[in-house]
């Protein structure tokens, strides 16, 4: 059974703070993804990674960075949080070649 965990379910931060969202998967998947979900906009891809230490920009990378030091862990970093980054953040993983992505439970981030 694939398990993707995210470090926090709910997070409240202040404008300008640096925010770290952690994601860990236990299925030895090469591919990992970060999305944000907003009402009426669906899931939008922020960054993804096909292997350790590599990263690719998604559709909305501005204001975010990522880190993948180990295969099982993919971190999303908000360098200086802003109110328009208030959202649900979802992490996913998939085996090489793609196909089904498996999602974590999400982190509801509120930036005040």
| Footprint on this chain of other proteins (rule: CB under 8 A) | 4, 9, 31, 33, 35, 40-45, 48, 50, 58, 90, 92, 94-106, 108
DSSP string of 6-74? ES-SEEEE-TT--EEEEEEESS--SEEEEEEEETTTEEEEEEEESSTT--EE-S--TTEEEEEEETTEE
Least distance to other proteins, CB of residue 91, Å: 8
Least distance to other proteins, CB of residue 49, Å: 10
Closer to other proteins by CB, 11 or 45: give it.
45
């Amino acid at each position: 059974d694939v398990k993707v965990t995210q470090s926090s379910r709910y997070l409240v931060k202040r404008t300008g703070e640096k925010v770290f969202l952690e994601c860990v998967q236990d299925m030895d998947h090469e591919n990992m993804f970060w999305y944000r979900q907003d009402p009426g906009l669906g899931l939008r891809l922020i960054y993804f990674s096909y292997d350790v230490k590599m990263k690719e920009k998604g559709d909305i990378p501005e204001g975010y960075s990522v880190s993948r030091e180990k295969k099982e862990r993919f971190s999303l970093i908000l360098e200086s949080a802003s109110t328009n980054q208030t959202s649900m953040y979802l992490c996913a993983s998939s085996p090489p070649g793609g196909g089904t992505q498996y999602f974590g439970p999400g982190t509801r981030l509120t930036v005040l």
